[in-house]
Amino acid sequence: MTILVTGGAGFIGSNFVLDWLASPEYRDEPVINLDALTYAGNLENLKALQGDARHIFVKGDICDRALIDRLLAEHKPRAIVHFAAESHVDRSISGPGAFMKTNVEGTFTLLEAARAYWSALAEDAKQAFRFHHVSTDEVYGSLKADDPPFAETNPYEPNSPYSASKAASDHLVRAWHHTYGLPVLTTNCSNNYGPYHFPEKLIPLMIVNALAGKPLPVYGDGQQIRDWLYVKDHASAIRTVLAGGRVGEVYNVGGWNEMANIDIVKTVCALLDELRPSAGGPYARLITYVKDRPGHDRRYAIDARKIERELGWRPAETFATGIRKTVQWYLDNPEWVSHVQSGSYRDWVSQQYGS
């Protein structure tokens, strides 16, 4: 029994792989980890698994059909858990082509390979097989202040090249189930945070900039609201859906933590003031408002009642406990941070936020 994980060297994927192989229920079920190791894929995330025969890493692209066919034939996984995606909104605005390639064409290629593999399985293996597609709440668009949170029945209204590409991939997954019978599951998650988060995203960017004494760039007025989900809670939700989710269904996964971006930044600053005080004074002095990005969605919120009602899942972490663990992790892992901050990363930050 094995599973194939795509994008398993990225932020969410690597946390999922680490937790999967540490869990009593699945620790004896190997993971075939396929990742192209682009800027956000990092084998250092998986250093704890070095030499572990249960973790088989393969560097490769999900658009490479021949490679996927070979991996499926060789390892005969009982499930595919599909994380691999370009995921940063700002990068999708400046370079949308990569998002269409990976998120749309890559998902199509993976679905077709999975369909061919699944169709040839013996009946019992065919019944047990699952294709789990990991997606985002951003496919639903933006909410007004008094709108109810996104439910699985909300219409899709993506507003960025990134969310449009993920919406397209969701539709492909749905269509391959309804047309071909492929046994799929989809989860749409809210904003993740936690260990191994690439520091172009809000929370790790604030942590690493604050520790370096650099400005903390906040878009617009900072009142954009997001629901925040600790990444290890997300990993447990995926395991829960993979084990018991109804085939063809969508499950929204959220942390029940709606907060404005500026409040997130101030919370990070306060924790750093406590855990690593700066001789220059409170870290909040570094907050700098910058021009808002184009088409910036105002509010996301997830209604995660379906996954709780049907599968009994709720997040274990509150935002207060999760953000403390996250800040402490970055303080404890300065080498990881320095290694991911390559020249190309610094150039991108300079381009995005100004000097």
Q: What is the 3-state secondary structure (H, E, C) of 178-234?
A: HHHCCCEEEEEECEEECCCCCCCCHHHHHHHHHHCCCCEEEECCCCCEEEEEEHHHH
The active-site residue, picked from 35, 61, 86, 138, is 138
3 state SS of 289: strand
Which residues have CB under 8 Å from 177's CB, separation 6+? 183, 184, 247, 248
- Other C-beta atoms closer than 10 Å to the C-beta of 339 total 11
The alpha-carbon radius of gyration of the chain (Å, integer) is: 20
Considering the candidates 61, 90, 137, 233, report the single residue annotated as catalytic: 137
Q: How far is CA 313 from the centre of its chain?
A: 18
Q: Which residues contact 201 (CB under 8 A, 6 or more apart)?
A: 88, 193
Angle, helices 161-180/107-119, rounded to nearest 10 degrees: 20
d(CA 55, CA 231): 20
138 in catalytic set: yes
Whole-angstrom distance, CA of residue 29 vs CA of residue 271? 38
H-state helical runs in 222-318: 231-244, 261-275, 305-311
What CA–CA distance (Å, rounded) separates 92 from 294? Answer: 11
List the catalytic residue out of 26, 140, 162, 300.
Answer: 162
251 is catalytic: no
Residue 134 CA to residue 213 CA, distance in Å, equals 36
User: Which residues are catalytic, by number?
Assistant: 137-138, 162
